[in-house]
Amino acid sequence: MNLFDKGKSGPQPVGGLQAGANVDWVYRVQEIQRKKTYKGTDYLDLTVMDKSGKMPAKIWDNIDHYHGLIKAGEIYRISGEVREYKGNLQLSVSRLRRLEAGDGDFPAEDFEESPPFDSQALMDDLAALLDANLSDPHLRRLVELFQAEFGPVFRQAYGAMKIHHAFAGGLLQHTHSLLKLILAVAPLYDLDRELLLVGALFHDIGKTAEFRTQPALESTLAGGLLGHLVISLEIFLEMKKRVPDFPEPLSLRIQHLIVSHHGEKEFGSPEVPKTREAYVLHLLDLLDSRLSIFSEQLKAGDAQKLFSEFIPALGTRILLEK
Ligand SMILES: [Fe+2]
Ligand SMILES: [Fe+2]
């Protein structure tokens, strides 16, 4: 063993890693994908994480060996160097191995992601907003059922696998923002506030079954084959059956909000918005998702650079100067 084999002595949480840091610590591999560089060379693209955060990681050498060894969701001892690439930090892995007895004990909860905000407080606020703004007894009953069934899941759910709200609590944060936007916009245009609130509550709930985050972040069979619009619709229809005498026209309007919220058929909506409320939900959904891409880029962006890299979802590079 030479000096370079010696591990760092203390914990190195992902959230505290800086560019240039030499890393030798224990992380969970959340995702692993074999990819090719533009020159055609194979490499492994990983996401490593612990409860403090997550970071992309790359393995450039011994690809076959590591591809056979690494299982997404498991914890490994990883050495490497933190580098900056296109304005974001990533870990260039030089060595990775399974945990050994001498590594010590690492409780599973140290590798579970928690929402980057007080999710209980946000959940309480969401419940209070709905309670204060819904008077229709069918909708109130529906929301009660929703909260009983999805409350705990909702607090932890990702809002997406990639791009925006892709973190624990992301779905709750996105839905909560939509409710606030609806309350601001509905009176300006004399829109059906109650319909919009309930449509927003259900619109992305199918994401809780579209992909899983444990043990690894990946699509489910239903998610890959049906997508979250169809799953959200199914969840709504099943829950609505448990509310006696739920009016059919109201049910159809909510269903329309769910299936048209991506706005265009080429983006997965089987029908485009045909009511003012459906159109508004689509636009507010777009507004919140796009602005969260801005804020996530501004947060992660390189302070030394004026513009970000090209962001496909926005179709441009964005100004990083605040
Ligand atoms: Fe959606
Ligand atoms: Fe959404």
Q: Which ligand is nearest to the CA of 281?
A: 2
Whether 318 is covered by a domain: the verdict is: no
Query: How many angstroms separate the alpha carbon of residue 288 from the centre of ligand 2?
Result: 8
CB-based contacts of 172: which residues, under 8 Å, 6+ apart?
A: 115, 119, 122, 123, 126, 154, 155, 157
pLDDT at position 247, please? 98
Averaged pLDDT of the chain: 92
Verify that 67 and 138 share a domain, yes or no: no
Verify that 187 and 243 share a domain, yes or no: yes
Give residue 4's pLDDT band: very low, low, confident or very high (50, 70, 90). very low
| 47/54 Cα distance (integer angstroms) | 7
Q: Which whole-number Å values give the CA distances from 299 to 92, 176, 296, 321, in the listed order? A: 22, 21, 5, 11
pLDDT at position 163, please? 80
Whether 311 is covered by a domain: the verdict is: no
pLDDT at position 113, please? 86
Verify that 107 and 77 share a domain, yes or no: yes
| Of the listed ranges 113-127, 169-183, 251-265, 287-301, the one predicted with least confidence | 287-301
Verify that 129 and 258 share a domain, yes or no: yes
Whether 42 is covered by a domain: the verdict is: yes
| 250/233 Cα distance (integer angstroms) | 14
Whether 316 is covered by a domain: the verdict is: no
Verify that 147 and 296 share a domain, yes or no: yes
pLDDT tens, position by position, 45-75 = 999 999 898 999 999 999 999 999 999 989 9
User: Is beta strand 75-85 parallel, antiparallel or unpaired with respect to 22-36?
Assistant: antiparallel
Verify that 85 and 215 share a domain, yes or no: no
| 90/21 Cα distance (integer angstroms) | 11
Whether 126 is covered by a domain: the verdict is: yes
Whether 148 is covered by a domain: the verdict is: yes
**Domain end position, chosen among 111, 139, 158:** 111
pLDDT at position 143, please? 98
DSSP 131-190: HHH---HHHHHHHHHHHHHHHHHHHH--S-SSSSS-STTHHHHHHHHHHHHHHHHHHHHT
Strand-pair partners of 163: none
CATH number of the domain within which 16 lies: 2.40.50.140
Q: Which ligand is nearest to the CA of 292?
A: 2
Verify that 129 and 223 share a domain, yes or no: yes
Give residue 118's pLDDT band: very low, low, confident or very high (50, 70, 90). very high
Verify that 62 and 167 share a domain, yes or no: no
Give residue 2's pLDDT band: very low, low, confident or very high (50, 70, 90). very low
Whether 322 is covered by a domain: the verdict is: no
Q: Which ligand is nearest to the CA of 284?
A: 2
Residues, CB-to-ion distance under 5 Å, ligand 2: 204, 285
| Full domain range(s) for residue 210 | 119-300
Main-chain phi, psi angles of 229, to 5 degrees: -65, -45
Verify that 151 and 223 share a domain, yes or no: yes
Tokens of 108: 């599973």
Average confidence (pLDDT) over 183-206: 98
pLDDT at position 3, please? 38
CATH number of the domain within which 221 lies: 1.10.3210
Report pTM.
Answer: 0.86
Verify that 72 and 207 share a domain, yes or no: no
Q: Which ligand is nearest to the CA of 177?
A: 2
Whether 317 is covered by a domain: the verdict is: no
Verify that 183 and 275 share a domain, yes or no: yes
| 181/108 Cα distance (integer angstroms) | 37
Query: How many angstroms separate the alpha carbon of residue 266 from the centre of ligand 1?
Result: 13
- H or E element at residue 196: helix 193-203
Query: How many angstroms separate the alpha carbon of residue 207 from the centre of ligand 1?
Result: 8
Verify that 277 and 154 share a domain, yes or no: yes
Query: How many angstroms separate the alpha carbon of residue 287 from the centre of ligand 2?
Result: 10
Tokens of 5: 């084999």
Q: How many domains does the chain have?
A: 2
Give residue 26's pLDDT band: very low, low, confident or very high (50, 70, 90). very high
